[in-house]
Amino acid sequence: MVVFENKAIPKLLLVCLFVQFSVSAANFFQPFNVTYDHRALIIDGKRRMLISGGIHYPRATPQMWPDLIAKSKEGGADVIESYTFWNGHEPVRGQYNFEGRFDLVKFVKLVGDNGLYFLLRIGPYVCAEWNFGGFPVWLRDIPGIEFRTDNEPFKREMQRFVTKIVDLMLEEKLFSWQGGPIILLQIENEYGNMEGSYGQKGKEYVRWAANMALGLGAGVPWVMCKQTDAPGDIIDTCNNYYCDGYKPNSPNKPTIWTENWDGWYTSWGGRLPHRPVEDLAFAVARFFQRGGSLMNYYMYFGGTNFGRTSGGPFYITSYDYDAPIDEYGLRSEPKWGHLKDLHAAIKLCERALVAADSPQYMKLGPRQEAHVYWENTQSAVLNTTLSESQSACSAFLANIDEHNTATVIFRGKSYSLPPWSVSILPDCSNVAFNTAKVGAQTSVKLVENALSPKISAPELVMTKNEVSSISESWMSVEEPIGIWSESNFTVQGLLEHLKVTKDESDYLWHMTRIYVSDDDVAFWEENKVSPTLVIDSMRDVLRIFINGELIGSVSGHWVKVLQPVQFQQGYSDLMLLSQTVGLQNYGAFLEKDGAGFRGQIKLTGFKNGDIDLSKASWIYQVGLKGEFQKIFTIEENEKAGWTNLKLDATPSTFTWYKEWLCGPYCNKELYLK
């Protein structure tokens, strides 16, 4: 009972407070244990067939979380899955961030409030097309460190972060045995692909990581994905487009699919990947048909790489992933609806699926087969129809021919199976769902103005007709070229990009002064040659300036640079702007990848020989002025000195632009650079 001592509180407020209390109280779990056997996870003493949807909490705003979770539940999900993101939670060593988009506790509690379970993949390496694979850049600076191997400095830091997350979940009572939604944890991530690169130390690291995780007292099972040598008490799991043939490394472990890739990420300039929902549904149905027990969509909602979180190199900021819920939080049809129907059909089979230790196999044709699950396999006879009160029977009929429809006979009845499809028969007789027959309607999305959702059709037409005049309201401000603040510093020789920027900015200015003599100019004219800037290797983007003028741009991942340059007699300022476009997020030895330049930088073609710029005196400046002034924020943008953009204006090399994003109907501004 809730008692309000202040009798002056309005009645309406009393009603609202009571409703909020009752909703929250009704959605807490009673504490339950999670174990497993060879067939499935055992939740509160019962085997379960589980559908999971991947949602990365930092790839959405907290305001979006409730709707995303609700749409996932409506679509048939039992579980929500997410990585944790070390560089977001600990941007500076020892300084933690669990606020805003990184409020992990709030996100997990919202999942629990919706009656869903949670799969928390701590890693802490995540890949995920996330900047540096989730590792904080400061980790590189720890003396003697080598990532993801039997290396004491790395293991010490990794254990500290994993312990921090587990302790936080324990403190907030978010594990199942505490009444929370977390039923499963993951340590490491797809390490099996990298293990061979580290030799014996890799094998030792896997054993250490498993023992470390198990020793934290989380009280729920742990998994390792793509880790066929996962130690005995860790469940090895599958990540792939198809996992129906996957078997764990022990007959005592269930078959779990931690990443069902329902799309793919996109690179700058690349195509938008698309996976047809018919194929996705086929893969899911085949997984459960052949003994799978938990399947997680990677992603169910992909979302957005906000700020500088995109991995790389050259991954775009959208992480839509062709997921059932698109980047904006809208249902992507027919994918969302078709999968919802699939999940409902699988749930109709759950009684038989969890009762049978293994299915009974029947070959129905050259590329057609059935798997039958009985609640009581000892008394089941395939050609006998039993009532539901006696035994539950469910069947999956598959046609793995990619091109031809097949007609098969199953238990005396004829079934037509489209190419590359699975028919689900919850009662071993009637088809509830076929993966190739899409009943969900393809949607036509109209993204409404969030601040003015009731714009009429005439107003929308008028807005379209006014597009030609919108350019008159654009404003701009030029970004200075080169050194722009007193925070610059001078060093003899070249410094590695990330050691200077600490990943606080993608941009790093390098400036040095070049002296050209009369003899050099005469030498060039006499021999009809020009000097050349030679850089052994650089990544991802390089812009080259002489006296503030852009003379060349190069992009690529560790590519050689040969840039002709022209100098006047006397002193000239040579400026190099190196830029990262997402740090490497996948592969072995990430700590050695770095950014900026590798090897030697020199100027060739001078009369007295090459000039080794690697040993020159360089002035360094981190970032762009507008970036550090935060002129892209509502609070700071007016300080930038914006001017109206003239249509005939000659743009500078770097210009910030500002415009009304929604025309005359909202007040949200868009900034481009």
Partners of residue 601 on adjacent β-strands? 535
C-alpha count within 13 angstroms, C-beta hemisphere, residue 355: 18
Residue in 81, 157, 190, 375 annotated catalytic: 190
What CA–CA distance (Å, rounded) separates 326 from 334? 12
What CA–CA distance (Å, rounded) separates 332 from 94? 40
What CA–CA distance (Å, rounded) separates 288 from 294? 8
Residue in 259, 369, 375, 591 annotated catalytic: 259
Identify the residue whose tokens are 């919108």.
Answer: 470
Q: Token digits for 261?
A: 């890739």
Strand bridging mode 234-240 / 256-261 = parallel
- Report the candidate in 277, 318, 287, 280 with the shortest Cα–Cα distance to residue 301: 318
Handedness of CA 446, 449, 453, 455 (dihedral sign): negative
In three-state secondary structure terms, 471 is: helix
| CB atoms inside a 10 Å sphere around CB 653 | 14
The reply to whether 190 belongs to the active site is: yes
Total residue count of the chain as it appears in this document:
673
Strand bridging mode 41-43 / 234-240 = unpaired
In three-state secondary structure terms, 151 is: coil
- Helices 104-113 and 152-171, axial angle in degrees (round to 10): 40
Tell me, rounded to whole angstroms, the distance of Cα 54 from its chain centroid.
9
Residue type, 299: M
What CA–CA distance (Å, rounded) separates 373 from 391? 10
Tell me, rounded to whole angstroms, the distance of Cα 145 from its chain centroid.
26
Handedness of CA 660, 662, 663, 668 (dihedral sign): negative
Residue type, 300: Y
Residues in CB range of 278: below 8 A, 6 or more apart: 338, 420, 421, 435, 436, 438
Q: Token digits for 238?
A: 């599958």
The reply to whether 549 belongs to the active site is: no
Buried b (16+ CB within 10 A) or exposed e, 119-157: bbbbbbbbbbbbbbbbbbbbbbeeeebbbbbbbeebbeb
Residues in CB range of 445: below 8 A, 6 or more apart: 326, 330
- Report the candidate in 199, 355, 360 with the shortest Cα–Cα distance to residue 290: 360
**Residue 511 parent element (H or E):** strand 507-516
* Residue 464: burial class (beta carbons within 10 Å; 0-12, 13-18, 19+): exposed
Q: What are phi and psi of 597, to 5 degrees?
A: -120, 150
Partners of residue 598 on adjacent β-strands? 537
Catalytic residues: 190, 259
